[in-house]
Structure 1
Amino acid sequence: MIKHLKFILFYPKIGPDMYLTHWLLFFKTSRLWFQKRKMGKIGENSEIRPYCTIIGTKNVMIGNNVIIPNGTTLGNLPGDKGSIIYIEDNVLLGPNVAIYSSTHNFQDVNKPIKNQGYNVASTRLKSGCWIGINSVILPGVTIGKNSVVAANSVVNKDVPDFTVVGGCPAKIIKRIDGSK
């Protein structure tokens, strides 16, 4: 029992399946204490809401004024210094967004994918960007300052500052700073 309790308290994960700690997210006082203890960095006025999943909590850096809404998944390879998710100040995330900084390798057809290791690359969401509902941000991608990712998009390449992208895979729809 003690071993299981230590696992739940100290394993670098937040999520509904971590039942003894997940309830801490439902109450603001315990949520603020818990997220500061569990995360790599979390800024002022930022919150992790219930029903989100974060794998590799110490590799997630969250700026000021960011809400991680329900259904969001932040996934990286715990303990790998190259697998970090950076979410800068004032980023808006819709529900059910998935952001990754690691993924499985799959080049060797003679091995099961789960035995081939991982490909890691830091992922960054620059300040003021908005990620629409159900979007997926893949490893190594940078979303530019004040850019918009349309709902249900899969982003596999960097997005320039002040740009709207959408689709699967996401493509530039328009610039929002007036330039062409």
Structure 2
Amino acid sequence: MNLSILKQKINKNPRSKYIIHKLIMNPQGACPRKWVKWFVNPIIFFSSKGKGAKIRSYTIMNISPINQFTLGSNSVIEYFSLIDNGVGSVHIGNNTRIGLRNTIIGPARIGDNTILAQNVVVSGLNHNYKNINLPIRKQGVTVSPIVIEDEVWIGANCIITAGVHIGKHTVIAGGSVVTKNIPDYSIAAGNPAKIIKQYDPDKGEWIKV
């Protein structure tokens, strides 16, 4: 049976979903149980890594079979990073570098030839908080996919929030917090990030906004 079809059937049955989740995930943390890391993760890594792709030492791979994980050819996940597909798939394209101490929480798709510098957080997850009679940790989460297109450069210490789409060949200045979509061929900076330059194809140069 196709994995996506099986997942849909499980999600439609609350009891099955609860049982599967308990079998796979550690109840005291948002990470897979040891048996998943020891036996399932190596199979996922082998089948989802492109030629020449590297995952450096001391990277935390919270990868579960619930959602997909792919790492494109010649791409690198650097030391001390965290990749988590527990609430949504993570897809990383070809020739892309995930820098030191990055955190990538799905659902997220990162394109080809993209650079994420140090200490970047990309999270497609938000915690619910509306019910003031319950602790936030007991209110569950919502997810909204993040898309980072090809040839993007994201500077150090940036935060990319859930639901954001960053266009092709765009630069996000270091320390920025991206809360809204950024179009192709733009430079954005600040908290919240705003477009400060865009490429003008007629003039052949970057123009201040």
Normalising by the residue count of structure 1, what TM-score does the alignment of the two structures yield?
0.75
Report the counterpart of residue 56 of structure 2 in structure 1.
Answer: 25
- Residue aligned with 1:139, SS: coil
Select 1:143's aligned residue among 166, 178, 193.
Answer: 166
Which of the residues 51, 60, 68 maps onto 2:80?
A: 51
Identical-pair percentage = 34
1:163 aligns with 2:186: yes
In 2, the alpha carbon distance for the partners of 1:93 and 1:102 equals: 19
Distance 1:64 1:51 in 2: 21
Letter aligned with residue 35 of structure 2? K
The 10-residue stretch of structure 1 (152-161 or 52-61) with the greater mean CA deviation from structure 2: 52-61
Report how many aligned residue pairs link the two structures.
152
Q: Quick one: which of 32, 36, 41 aligns to 2:70?
A: 41
Report the CA distance between 1:176 and its aligned residue: 2.5
* Secondary structure of 1:114 counterpart: helix
8 Å Cα contact 2:115-2:154 kept in structure 1? yes
* 1:143-171 alpha-carbon deviations (Å, 9 max, x no partner): 11001110000000000111111111111
Instruction: Name the residue aligned to 1:20.
Output: none
Q: What is aligned with 1:66?
A: 96
Shift of 1:41: 1.4
Matches of residues 2-17 of structure 1 in structure 2 within 5 Å? 5-9=34-38, 10=40
* 1:47 positional shift: 1.5
What is the rounded CA distance, in whole Å, between the counterparts of 1:115 and 1:162 in structure 2? 41
Paired residue type of 1:72: N
Q: Which has the larger radius of gyration?
A: 2
- Structure 1 runs of 4+ off > 4 angstroms? none
1:100 pairs with one of 93, 114, 123: 123
Residue 6 of structure 1: SS of its match in structure 2?
helix
**Superposed CA RMSD:** 2.8
Deviation, structure 1 residue 88: 0.5
Q: Distance in 1 between matches of 2:130 and 2:57?
A: 42
Structure 2 equivalent of residue 85 of structure 1: 108
Inter-partner Cα distance in structure 2 for 1:71 and 1:176: 31
Could you tell me how far 1:55 is from its partner in structure 2?
1.3
Counterpart check, 1:152 vs 2:181 = no
Please state how far the C-alpha of 1:7 moved relative to its aligned partner: 4.2
